[in-house]
Amino acid sequence: MVKLRCNDYGFECDFEVEGDREYVVVQFMQHTNEVHGIDYRKEAVMQFILRKYPA
């Protein structure tokens, strides 16, 4: 399980998503696109996760 929060990446936003990696990636990408107007690529969001949860 992983968790990403918008405010960890410079947004003044309380959004957070937790779950398996694929779910978190999709939900975070959808949220940042719809709410913040930022279209992150899947690879970029995976890098957020890998930095936060190194293997």
* Nearest C-alpha neighbor of 52 from the set 5, 10, 11: 5
Helix, strand and coil content of the chain, in percent to the nearest 5, comes to 55, 15, 30
Q: Which residues pair with 16 in a beta bridge?
A: 5
* Structure confidence by residue, pLDDT tens digits, 1-51: 999 999 999 999 999 999 999 999 999 999 999 999 999 999 999 999 999
Structure tokens at 42: 């899947």
Half-sphere exposure of 1 (CA within 13 A, CB side): 4
The whole model's pTM is what? 0.92
Q: How far apart are CA 37 and CA 9, in angstroms?
A: 14
